[in-house]
Amino acid sequence: MTSIAVAGASGYAGGEVLRLALGHPELEVGVVTAASRAGSRLGEIHPHLVPLADRVLAPTRPEVLAGHDVVVLALPHGESAGLAAALPAEVVVVDCGADHRLVDPAAWAEFYGGEHSGAWPYGLPELPLADGSRQREALRGARRVAVPGCYPTAASLALAPGLAAGLLDPSDVVVVAASGTSGAGRSPAPHLLASEVTGSMTPYGVGGVHRHTPEIEQNLAAAAGVPVTVSFTPTLAPMARGILATCTARLSVDAGPRGRGGTDGGGPEADGVRKVWVEAFADEPFVHVLPDGQWPRTADTLGANTVHLQVALDRRTRRVVVTAAMDNLTKGTAGAALQCVNLALDRPETLGLPVAGVAP
């Protein structure tokens, strides 16, 4: 058995890591820590985690976390770097925060502020890269991994196949995505009260200022092999979990007759465009391109480490439209963390991770 410690176990992401770890056949949950909730019983905060209900949350300190094979950091942005630096090099440290996702220090300074802590291997195994490989090769045997943001996971997997194939114009990409309230974390805030959220949707981070924007651009540039410009608008939806992202990009000027998306004599066919995504993810156990005519729903991914995709071609505007649905806490955070743990420890990537959602 491999011992796993979870820092920030009182939050939604930390609780989801523990839920999945309990179902993993080769992980044994060790210490669980928190900041302000240290000293509390875990069952007071996460009553659904019955096997761990009597665990007492320890303070989040390096000496408390030391001695485990794996440490998952489910901490607020800016709090992981110092803690990770104090942990032994041989420990697998997986950061669910943003501290180590961005490669460009200037992008970090612009969107997060403060000193850049350096980039770790990026934990999106399925991401197609411009050289024909996948991001998972950088994760095998890694001892430090940066888990992607939830929005970047959905948007990147939605668009990367088309950019890697040269089908999409990297200068004209638009992403509009809705997320459940758990994406904002567990800290109380007036705008997250049930009376404010129920029956309403609200945009936020409008005008290219959301912190996930440079991360999406970084991922899509890795797929395209050239810089990618993204207009990203997130919205808050009246649900606890889930992301539904609508991602569009104009067809590349090279995607004309006999273009890489197939042709009907005057441009790419819809079936030919969709085939690019079907082939890109044919062997990926957690990314599913749905049958033609079936559209992703957040409900179908609840509790599963999966992303559901569908692809359409808008001939009138020459734009490809890809919709993606996933659970922001599972595939968007905790599931991705344990998927990366499996790769780091040279275990089957799918081990202990659910592919079936909960319905109704």
Yes or no: say if 43 and 52 are a contact pair by the CB < 8 Å rule: yes
Q: Is 247 a catalytic residue?
A: no
> SS3 helix, strand, coil % of the chain, rounded to 5?
30, 20, 50
Amino acid identity of residue 133, one-letter, is: S
Which two tokens mark 119? 């980039």
Q: What DSSP assignment string belongs to 99-118?
A: TTT-S-HHHHHHHT-S----
For residue 141, report the phi and psi dihedrals to the nearest 5 degrees: 75, 5
Q: How far apart are CA 355 and CA 352, in angstroms?
A: 10
Which two tokens mark 80? 């992981």
Q: Please tell me which residue in 96, 150, 247, 340 is annotated as part of the active site.
A: 150
Q: Phi/psi zone of residue 88: left (φ > 0), alpha (ψ -120 to 50 degrees), beta? A: beta
Yes or no: say if 230 and 216 are a contact pair by the CB < 8 Å rule: yes
Yes or no: say if 145 and 340 are a contact pair by the CB < 8 Å rule: yes
CA 273 to chain centre: 24
| β-strands 243-251, 168-179 pairing | antiparallel
Asked if residue 47 has a cis previous peptide bond (ω within 30° of 0), the answer is no
Helix or strand run (H / E) with residue 34: strand 27-34
Q: How far apart are CA 49 and CA 53, in angstroms?
A: 6
Q: How far apart are CA 31 and CA 209, in angstroms?
A: 37
Instruction: List residues with catalytic annotation.
Output: 150
